Amino acid sequence: MAAKRGTKTSMKNMEKELLCPVCQEMYKQPLVLPCTHNVCQACAREVLGQQGYIGHGGDPSSEPTSPASTPSTRSPRLSRRTLPKPDRLDRLLKSGFGTYPGRKRGALHPQVIMFPCPACQGDVELGERGLAGLFRNLTLERVVERYRQSVSVGGAILCQLCKPPPLEATKGCTECRATFCNECFKLFHPWGTQKAQHEPTLPTLSFRPKGLMCPDHKEEVTHYCKTCQRLVCQLCRVRRTHSGHKITPVLSAYQALKDKLTKSLTYILGNQDTVQTQICELEEAVRHTEVSGQQAKEEVSQLVRGLGAVLEEKRASLLQAIEECQQERLARLSAQIQEHRSLLDGSGLVGYAQEVLKETDQPCFVQAAKQLHNRIARATEALQTFRPAASSSFRHCQLDVGREMKLLTELNFLRVPEAPVIDTQRTFAYDQIFLCWRLPPHSPPAWHYTVEFRRTDVPAQPGPTRWQRREEVRGTSALLENPDTGSVYVLRVRGCNKAGYGEYSEDVHLHTPPAPGTTRTAGTTAVPRMPQWRRRHPSLS
C-alpha cells in the first residue's frame, strides 16, 4: 500500500511535465519539435495556421481511421466523396500545383517552414514538409495515459459505437482506433474476417501505432543517425541526406541512452540530501533577494528624495532671488511713476512751482525758487531723456539645465568595473614580478583591485585550483617580491567598487629567470650566468 501511495504521489507531482505549453492541457498526440520540445498535434496545426501556413498540418502518423469517425458512418454523402491522401496533397504542394502564402505557383525553391516554439521562445525550422516530417512522442503518450489512469482523470471511458446511452468500454483496438464494449467489439470483429485477427487492448482515449514509423517513408525506424540526432529507417540510410553520417542500430542508441539516463537518475536519487540542501539554499537566497531588493528600493527612494530635496531648496533659493529682483525693480518703477505724475498740470511739483511764481517778494522768491529750479531742471532732463528706471525683462534669470538634464537622464545603477587589460609593455618578471594594467576606456571606475597569482609548474592538488591573493591594491600596478626562480606564474586581476567585483582580466603567464649559477670547464674560470626573463600573454602568442 505504501509503495502504491508513493507511486500515485510521484505521478501526481509530475503533472506539470505532461502539460502542453500551448493549450496548458495534457498532451494529445504530442509531436517532437527539432528543439526536442513537445507540442500537441492539434496545437501545432493551430499555431501554423496563425502563422499563415496552409497545407502543412498533416498527420505525421498516417494511421487508419476508426470506425467511429469514418465518413461512411457519419454521412452517406461524404462516403461518395474521394478525399485526397495527405501524402498526395503534400506532393502536389511540392510540385507547384498547390500554393500557400509566400510561395508562387511552380516555385523552384520550396518554402522553409518556421515554427515558434512556445517552450524555448525561438523559431525552429520544420523543413518544407512541416508537421508531416515530425515524429510522434509515443513514450510521452504512454506516460500521459498512465498518469490519467493513476489519478482517474476524466472518469470512465465509454464505448464509441454504442447507441445512446453508451456503455462503459471494456476493450480497445489499436487497428480500429476505437473503444468498444463487449457486444460492440464482437459486432465489429466478426469471426472469419480480417478484423477478427485484431488484438484487443485496454480501453484508452489515445491510440498509438504499434511502432514508431518514419514520417518520410512510413516504414518502421531501425537506426539512429548520430550526426543528425534523428531516428531513420532503412530507406533513410541509403539516401544522400545521410551519406557519411554516423548511423548506429536503434538498439545500440537505446542501450547507450538508457544507460546514460539511468546513471544520471541514479546519481540524482542518490544525492537527495544534496538536492534538499540546495533547495534550502535557494529558498534562503529567495528570502535574501526579497530583503535585499526591498533595501535597494528604499536606498534608491532615499537618494531620489535627497535629490528632490536639493532641487526644492535650489528652487526656493532661485525664486527668492527673482522675487527680490522683482520687488527692487517695481519700487524703482513706482518712484519714477510718482515723479512723472508730479509733472502733470495742477498737481505735485508743477502746482507747487506755479504757486511759487506768484510770489512778489523778490528775496523770498529767490530763496524758494533756487531749490525748486534744481528739481524742475532734473525733471526736465528726465522728461527729455526718458527711459524706464528698471528693465521689465528677466532674461538674466533663465536657467541652463541641459547638463543637469543629461546627467539625470543618464542616472543609472552603478556597474562593476570591466575586466582590466594587462599592459604587456610594462609587465615583466625578474627578481620581482611587476604587473601593470588599465581599465577599458568606458569602464566604470574601480575603488581598488584584487591581484591573484599561482605557479603552474607544480603538480596539481586535488580539489579546486588555489590562488594566492593580494587584496585592496590601490592604483593600477602591483609588485610581487621574492618569486620562485625558474618558475612559471599565471596572474590575473579584477576591479571592485560599490557595485561589487568585476570580471577577471585575461591570464598572463610570466617566467621568472633561473637562479644565478656558474659553469666550470677545464682551464676556464667561473663565468656567472646572466639571468634571463620572458613573458607570455595570450595576445602575444
Taking only the tens place, the pLDDT of each residue in 45-56 is 888 888 777 655
Task: Please state, in angstroms and as integers, the Cα–Cα distance from residue 102 to each residue in 110, 112, 113, 527, following that order.
Answer: 10, 10, 10, 84
pLDDT per residue as tens digits for the range 112-133:
788 888 888 888 888 777 888 8
> What's the confidence (pLDDT) of residue 530?
34
Task: Please state, in angstroms and as integers, the Cα–Cα distance from residue 468 to each residue in 462, 471, 480, 491, 502, following that order.
Answer: 16, 10, 11, 9, 18
The answer to whether residue 505 scores a pLDDT higher than 90 is yes
Task: List the beta strands (DSSP E) in 383-519.
Answer: 421-422, 428-429, 432-438, 448-455, 468-473, 477-481, 488-497, 500-501, 508-511, 518-519
What stretch of H or E contains 527? strand 527-528
In 3D space, the residue among 503, 506, 448 whose CA is nearest the CA of residue 477 turns out to be: 448
- The structural domains of the chain, ordered by start, are 13-53+110-154 (3.30.40.10), 253-385 (no CATH), 421-512 (2.60.40.10)
Q: Which residue has the higher pLDDT, 509 or 355?
A: 509
The answer to whether residue 392 scores a pLDDT higher than 70 is yes
The answer to whether residue 101 scores a pLDDT higher than 50 is no
Task: List the beta strands (DSSP E) in 186-307.
Answer: 200-201, 223-225, 230-232, 247-249
Which amino acid type is present at position 345? D
> What's the confidence (pLDDT) of residue 160?
81
User: Can you tell me the mean pLDDT for 469-484?
Assistant: 91
> What's the confidence (pLDDT) of residue 105?
46
Strand pairing partners for 495? 449
pLDDT > 70: what percent of the chain?
Answer: 78
How many Å apart are CA 11 and CA 337, to the nearest integer? Answer: 96
> What's the confidence (pLDDT) of residue 214?
81
Grouping H, G, I as helix, E, B as strand and the rest as coil, residue 23 is coil
**Range of lowest pLDDT (188-192, 272-276, 532-536):** 532-536
> What's the confidence (pLDDT) of residue 110?
59
Q: Which residue has the higher pLDDT, 387 or 85?
A: 387
Q: Strands 171-173, 178-180: parallel, antiparallel or unpaired by DSSP?
A: antiparallel
User: Can you tell me the mean pLDDT for 408-415?
Assistant: 88
Question: Given pLDDT bands bounded at 50, 70 and 90, which one contains residue 11?
Answer: low
User: Can you tell me the mean pLDDT for 471-494?
Assistant: 91
pLDDT per residue as tens digits for the range 201-246:
877 766 666 677 787 787 888 888 888 888 888 888 777 777 788 8
**Range of lowest pLDDT (426-440, 470-484, 519-533):** 519-533
Are 29 and 42 in contact by the 8 Å Cβ rule? The answer is yes
> HSE on the CB side for 111, CA within 13 Å?
22
